[in-house]
Amino acid sequence: MYLADHTWPELGDALSEGSVALVPLGSTEQHGPHLPLATDHLIAEALATAAADRSDAFRTPTINVGVSPHHRQFPGTMWVDPPEFRDYVESFSRNLAYHGIDRVVFVNAHGGNVQHLREVGRRLHEDEVAYAVEWMWDESIPELVDDLFERNGPHAGPKETAMITHIAPDLVREDRLEDARDGGLVDLDDADTTVHGARTFYDAIDNSPNGAFGDPTDVTPEKSERLFEAAADQLVRLAQWIGDRDRDELFPEPRVEREA
């Protein structure tokens, strides 16, 4: 169910303690010469929509701009600074809790958001406001991602190309797939990312001139559908798991008292 499609009387009857919200979050940032800036938030929204349609969870509106300053050199990329992003998502989540939704899945499709969403979840958990977890779609099916694509990449590679091929094929610039591969970084081992144990880069452009990583030419509609359905299934299972837990299972244990 998409929360914003309903009236307040309808939601007043539906919302209660134990309700689960799926909050799609992504970014608006470069994804190489072949994918739209909307890639991450399109993936998050499509997965959250599919999972909400297949479960009792509510999907919320999408948060389209995330923490993306490491892509700032590429025209069109948008971002918010981490403190503002964390505060916004926390306030958004506390609003859900006010209406009775005390379980939240941050359906995330952007790596730059991960640590900040986990911090928001920790704050909400500590205050016993809501149980909120960060879920990154590709981390839910790592073996399948590795099996499907020979030369993967963390950004604008075959896995994200496959997801957009399934969700919005008209937005994939198929005539630029080889350009993405040849002008980007196909193999991460070729990047000088660490020197004497220190990570030496800050921005995506430091390793990939066109912002793409991996080989997106290794994508087919069949692989794309398989990838999407596997991730959506994992999200449905997660929403059901959280919804089935007693509140006492989700919130902090009491302080350990000193033994007699």
Which residue do the tokens 């660490």 mark? 194
Q: What pLDDT was estimated at residue 14?
A: 87
- Residue 24 pairs with which residues in a beta bridge? 107
Residues of the chain with pLDDT under 50: none
Q: What pLDDT was estimated at residue 192?
A: 80
Query: φ, ψ for residue 205 (rounded to 5)?
Result: -65, -20
Residues 6+ away with beta carbon under 8 Å from 104: 20, 21, 23, 93, 96, 121, 124, 130, 131, 132, 133
Tens of pLDDT, residues 45-96: 999 999 999 999 999 999 999 999 999 999 999 999 999 999 999 999 999 9
Domains of the chain: residue spans and CATH:
3-248 (3.40.50.10310)
At 78 the three-state DSSP class reads: strand
Which residue do the tokens 């509140």 mark? 247
Q: What pLDDT was estimated at residue 260?
A: 63
- The pTM assigned to this predicted structure is 0.95
Query: Nearest-CA neighbor of 69 among 29, 110, 36?
Result: 29
Distance CA 135, CA 211 (A): 24
β-strand pairing of 194-195 with 198-199: antiparallel
Q: What pLDDT was estimated at residue 191?
A: 83
Q: What pLDDT was estimated at residue 86?
A: 98
Q: What pLDDT was estimated at residue 193?
A: 84
